[in-house]
Amino acid sequence: MIVRGRCWEGRAAWLTALVLLAIPCVAGADEHYQFTALTLAATDLAKQDSINGVGTEDKRKAVLQAEHFGENDWGFFYGDVEYNYGKGVGAVPQLGNQGDAQSLYAVAIPSVSLAKITGKSFTRGPLSDVGLLAILRASSYSQYRSYGIGLSFNFSVPGFLWFESGVTTHNSQWNVQPGTFNTNTGRDYTLDSQKWMWRTYLISKPIILGEQRFHYIWFSFINGSGSHQAAGHGAEFFIRQDFLWEVLKHSDFQLGIRYEYARHKNDPAINFGNNTFVANVPFLMFKYTL
């Protein structure tokens, strides 16, 4: 029954996501606030991380990111694809994992606004809307996949173009065998099941200092994790902040600093057991908005 329940949850999440993706397309919804951007970022402090697989053997890494965000007549959609390049991306020599020269990561987040589809107001103080949301993530590192469904909450906050946060279920799989941490079995294993995730996305309005214009973006995932040895990582934190400056006052070209923070417990790469993994990774970045 547990296996059937998990399969049903996965199918329900994917079906919900497909429905949420299809509604705006079928209805011919026009996007209002939206952007499509390409980002190139580089760091020499990409610490080895056996859970997220974003570190490298020599800590040097380049990232090419393509993302799209669009608010439409039905809700919003966020999509992100990231190409990581470096020496042994995801390498964890302690586990016999030499990593690859590259890895891919993708996320899709469709949401339907309850206010827009019902015609009713959900405004309560700073709360401006409530939405039904699905989140799908995948990575080539350890063949990771996760999915969840839940609620998103939009807020009207001075100084922000977009201020949205929400809570979803969280289920994930990868190909790391519990106990041995072997990745060559050709099987998938449950990583997290029936857990929770808190996700937040913030986009500031232009910050004007003198004649210069700056931007600030926050994107975060905080989720619960499993209980067995290969998945018992406590609350997993991933926070990304972008601090951007408009080059020559041109909003399409932005230079800045990206700061990523990751935290979890019981990392196999540092003597699996009672430990806490923390990574603080700064990037230099260039962002071009199409």
- 42 pLDDT band (50/70/90 cuts)? very high
Q: Is the pLDDT of residue 285 over 80?
A: yes
Query: 68-123, pLDDT tens digit by residue?
Result: 999 988 899 999 999 999 988 876 666 666 667 788 899 999 999 999 999 999 99
Residue among 95, 186, 112 at smallest CA distance from 151: 112
Residue 91: predicted pLDDT? 67
What average pLDDT does the segment 35-60 reach?
89
Which carries the bigger pLDDT value, residue 129 or residue 34? 129
- 57 pLDDT band (50/70/90 cuts)? confident
Mind listing the domains of the chain with CATH numbers?
A: 2-31+93-98+106-289 (2.40.230)
What is the token pair recorded at 223? Answer: 């989720």
Task: Indicate the pTM of the whole model.
Answer: 0.86
Residue 5: predicted pLDDT? 40
Separation of alpha carbons 173 and 50, rounded Å:
15
Query: 158-198, pLDDT tens digit by residue?
Result: 999 999 999 999 998 888 776 666 666 778 877 788 889 99
% of residues, the chain, pLDDT over 70: 78
